[in-house]
Amino acid sequence: MKKSLRILALLLCTGVSLTVIADEKPKQEKPVQKAEVKFTAKCPVSGADADKEQFTAYKNKKTYFCCEKCKAAFEADNTKYAVKANHQLVQTRQFRQTKCPFSGGDMNKEQAVKMKGVNVQFCCEKCKGKAEAATGDDQLAMVFSDDAFKKGFEARQGKGKGKKKTE
């Protein structure tokens, strides 16, 4: 009889404990908000700040412009603006660097140069030195010309993932 009472008491205590635990409301966690990334890009035609609403398709991605007039100029002859458009594709994270843009060799993060907001890695000190010897638009032309761009950069898939190369 004592054993039965002990078991009954134990079951009652367990039941009360479970009821108390079940009645506790889970703490409401604040929803995780993604940090809003500010859009920053330069118009490849004028060099002014680009507008996210003014764009055209280029290399199966989007190139942004400051106004409709620049967009029209680019669409009329994009080869004239290819270097700056290619730079913008990397700056806006639509393309990513995969190889040295000069040699096509593997990148070495120790051999990097910042070019108008874009960190570019090279395979060796010689390639890095070649890039550092140039300045301004000449430097961009060396790294973001169509030939160098094909060697060293590829399109990102979707939201920055994947490895599909687009030419």
Q: What's the pLDDT score for residue 163?
A: 41
Q: Can you list the residues of the chain whose pLDDT is less than 70? A: 1-37, 159-167
Contact 154, 163 (CB under 8 A): yes
Q: What angle do CA 71, 72, 76 make, to 5 degrees?
A: 120
Neighbour count for residue 47 (Cβ, 10 Å): 11
Q: What's the pLDDT score for residue 38?
A: 81
User: Per this entry, what is the length of the chain?
Assistant: 167
SS3 content of the chain, % helix, strand, coil (to 5): 40, 20, 35
- Largest Cα–Cα distance of the chain, in whole Å? 97
Question: What's the predicted TM-score (pTM) here?
Answer: 0.72
Q: What's the pLDDT score for residue 159?
A: 54
Q: What's the pLDDT score for residue 39?
A: 84
Contact 118, 91 (CB under 8 A): yes
